[in-house]
Amino acid sequence: SQQGEEDPQALSIQEGENATMNCSYKTSINNLQWYRQNSGRGLVHLILIRSNEREKHSGRLRVTLDTSKKSSSLLITASRAADTASYFCATEQYGNKLVFGAGTILRVKS
Amino acid sequence: EAGVAQSPRYKIIEKRQSVAFWCNPISGHATLYWYQQILGQGPKLLIQFQNNGVVDDSQLPKDRFSAERLKGVDSTLKIQPAKLEDSAVYLCASSYGGLYGYTFGSGTRLTVV
């Protein structure tokens, strides 16, 4: 079974705009990770945030984590056409078990 | 470093046939995972190995799926017999553990007709 729910399911924006994706989960976690998947390809690890962290940045990515609400958000700033992909949040649970949500499809129009 | 290698890249079989997928993780990664990703869904964990031992196979349909990781390095996932609903991408991932994230292979796209 999948751990999280992502919102929205699909997002279409113009190049240069910011994209925000949200993720909610149900159980205790060690950390939360975000992955990108281009059509028909493997998953690429983007960023990891530990359960005791609240915010993390990596380049144009900003991730927040609220463990009291069991939710996370991924912000991509100044989006580019190359950011078009599916984005998944995944929670690492006890025993290094990584469980994925259903994903958000992002389309960046140029 | 070399990535996670998977083969074949694509496979088309008829229902009730058998199929096997191979994965070679990143050298030194003790933990290896097999995921099934049905079109339009997130990856679902099938089995997790720590070295050559199984940590979690609670979602592996054991009546038709089997997996092994001999010598704690590469791994094979087998389906016998295949059903139409097994059509999916099968992803292998490995992890060093801790806070380094997971590295995924390119996957094997299986079509059962």
Residue pLDDT, tens place only, B28-78:
899 999 999 999 999 999 999 998 899 999 999 999 999 999 888 999 999
Do A42 and A32 meet the contact criterion of CB atoms below 8 Å apart? no
Q: Rounded to an integer, what distance in angstroms lies between the CA atom of residue A42 and that of residue B4?
A: 10
Q: For position B30, which CATH number holds?
A: 2.60.40.10
Q: Rounded to an integer, what distance in angstroms lies between the CA atom of residue A14 and that of residue A12?
A: 7
Domain residues for B30?
5-112
A10 touches chain B (CB under 8 A): no
Number of domains within chain B: 1
Cβ distance A33 to B101 less than 8 Å, yes or no, reads yes
In order of start, what are the domains of chain A with their CATH numbers? 5-109 (2.60.40.10)
Gyration radius from chain A CA atoms: 13
Cβ distance B56 to A95 less than 8 Å, yes or no, reads yes
For residue B98, what pLDDT is reported?
65
Buried b (16+ CB within 10 A) or exposed e, A29-51: bbbbbbbbbeeeebbebbbbbee
Render pLDDT for A57-90 as a digit per residue (tens, 0 to 9): 999 999 999 999 999 999 999 999 999 999 999 9
A61 touches chain B (CB under 8 A): no
Cβ distance A42 to B44 less than 8 Å, yes or no, reads no
Of the listed ranges A8-17, B7-16, B67-76, the least confidently predicted one is: B67-76
